[in-house]
Structure 1
Amino acid sequence: MGFGGRMDGCGQCIKYSMFIANFIIFVGGAIMFGLGIWTVVDKNFMNELLGTNLFAGATYVLIVTSALVCMVSFFGCIGAAKEVKCMLLTYFIVMFLIFVTMLIGGILGVVFREKVEQTMRQEMHSSLKLYGNRRAVTQAWDQTQTRLKCCGIDGWRDWNGLVPESCCQVTYGGQRKPCIEAPSPLTLYANGCSVVTTNFVKEHAAIIGGTGIALAALIIFGMIFSCSLFKMIE
């Protein structure tokens, strides 16, 4: 049944507010889903150097959670439009569980940001010795050095004279300057990969974390509107 008496105006206001909030939540969930896919497809080249699976694991959780947010927000819009109490109650429960999951994910993200530099340096020191012997490690180093324009852990001297071609600077013509036989600061990337990669991961985590916080805030509004609407429906 619908709203009655003097509650009509207030009820309709909450109804449309919930509809708008869920539309924004749907858009936010879609953005987070896109960020998650982008991370998996475009940013997985450094997984071998991270020293932890927390970053990859958090990304997959992000994809699943954001997809679920899109689905639930869509049903929330239907529940508000049709004034179905069962759908509103289900919406509230699922959104609450998603909110808790995102809160835990945010805490893990903070922990990851604090430990990433130490674990990455340790993994880099270990993997540096495996360069050329293990394909996954070799590709991770080459792609990281090429894409982030860095060389070694703290600099090119970490390679002890056996500098990979991926450390060489690229000229405007698209060719790499000769630097393998006679490496020098003029032909090699100047920055070490430890600081560059750490900053890269932290900045990327901050983008995802900021989007997650904004989406969590919207979810709170969605839950408030659904609870209010649930109580007003006769």
Structure 2
Amino acid sequence: MGKVNVCLKRSYVIVISLIAVASALLLGGTLFNHGYYHQNEEVEETLLTAIHAMYIISTITLALTITGVYGACKEKKWALIVFAVGMILGCLFMIFIEVIGLAVRPEMAEGLKMQYLRKLPLNNATESFIDTMDDIQIHLQCCGLDQGYLDWGYHIPQSCLCGEESTNPCVAAPRDSNLFEHVVDDQPIMIYNESCIPLLIAHQMESMHTLCGIILGITLLWILSVVLCIFILCRLNKKEDIPVVVYSPQAKAGNYTALTDAAEYT
């Protein structure tokens, strides 16, 4: 069994330690989100499936990193092989998720649009969704979902009002809306002109791009750990060159006898 280079072993341990820390943080975040959404009885089935998937991924990855550290420190081939095979399968799974995510972006955008359109008309929406819309309109500087402020009818909320630092275009609110109920002068009231659905979809797609970038970075880190693990296995499988002991007829007792005789005369 060959000797593993110290720098190679340290690099491998550092990389899989980073993977272990990321897995532990993912597991902790999954536990927190599960506890948070568990209080809501109307949690979607897809969200629960995603939480369970995060449990499985984080737990398996954490177990593989522990096995990999043990194999590197104790120079156990079986542990390194288990780590390498498990991480290779994980890399293939992450690449598959990345490709699927990029392929379903148009369908996801259309699905989000249809989901929001089902909430119309807004004047008949629930109070919880109206509160959500208020936060969205303030944050994204928009008004309404599909047709702008017309989606609200007569009751245009205060969250549609243009702020002093607004960057999106504004228009004058209609005079027959509730915004002019207590106004005595003729000054126009400016509200956001853009509807929220395009901005919401763009925001969701940006979040998806960020997620895909994170997944790509994690995949590259996993690939690096697999490469280092394979190098360590190659070093362990390499046989050391042991010098062959050969008998030499020149190594005679007489040679030493001569030295002994010479020492006696001194």
Normalised by the length of structure 1, the TM-score is 0.69
Determine if contact 1:121/1:153 at 8 Å carries over to the other structure. Answer: no
Of 10, 19, 27, 2:13 maps to 19
1:130 deviates by: 6.4
1:197 deviates by: 1.0
| 1:212 matched residue in structure 2 | 215
User: What are the ranges of 5 or more consecutive residues in structure 2 without an aligned counterpart?
Assistant: 37-41, 166-172, 181-186, 238-266
| 2:152 matched residue in structure 1 | 159
1:156 deviates by: 1.6
1:1-234 equivalences in 2 (<5 Å): 3-4=1-2, 8=3, 11-29=5-23, 61=53, 64-66=56-58, 68-129=60-121, 132-134=124-126, 137-154=129-146, 155-169=148-162, 181-182=178-179, 186-233=189-236
Q: Please provide the CA RMSD for this pair.
A: 4.0
Secondary structure, aligned partner of 2:119: helix
Between Structure 1 and Structure 2, the one with more helix by share is 1
Q: Which amino acid aligns with 1:21?
A: V
Determine if contact 1:21/1:222 at 8 Å carries over to the other structure. Answer: yes
The separation in 2 between residues aligned to 1:35 and 1:185, in whole angstroms, is 47
Identity %: 21
The separation in 2 between residues aligned to 1:66 and 1:132, in whole angstroms, is 42
1:194–1:220 CA distance, 2 compared to 1 (3 A): same
Deviation string 1:117-163 (CA, Å, 9 cap, x unpaired) is 32222222211236644455444434433433322124222323332
1:105 deviates by: 1.6
Normalised by the length of structure 2, the TM-score is 0.62
Determine if contact 2:144/2:195 at 8 Å carries over to the other structure. Answer: yes
Identify which of structures 1 and 2 has the higher relative contact order when contacts are C-alpha pairs closer than 8 Å and 6+ apart: 1
1:37–1:181 CA distance, 2 compared to 1 (3 A): farther
Deviation string 1:138-191 (CA, Å, 9 cap, x unpaired) is 44434433433322124222323332344345679xxxxxx8613799443343
1:150–1:132 CA distance, 2 compared to 1 (3 A): same
1:116–1:30 CA distance, 2 compared to 1 (3 A): same
The separation in 1 between residues aligned to 2:194 and 2:34, in whole angstroms, is 25
Q: Which amino acid aligns with 1:215?
A: I
The separation in 1 between residues aligned to 2:150 and 2:133, in whole angstroms, is 15
1:115–1:212 CA distance, 2 compared to 1 (3 A): same
Secondary structure, aligned partner of 1:188: strand
Q: Which amino acid aligns with 1:162?
A: H
1:216 deviates by: 0.4
Deviation string 1:40-73 (CA, Å, 9 cap, x unpaired) is 999xxxxx9xxx9878865764565345434433
Q: Which amino acid aligns with 2:65?
A: S
Secondary structure, aligned partner of 1:182: helix
User: What are the ranges of 5 or more consecutive residues in structure 1 without an aligned counterpart?
Assistant: 43-47, 173-178
Larger radius of gyration: 2
Q: What is the number of equivalent residue pairs in this alignment?
A: 214
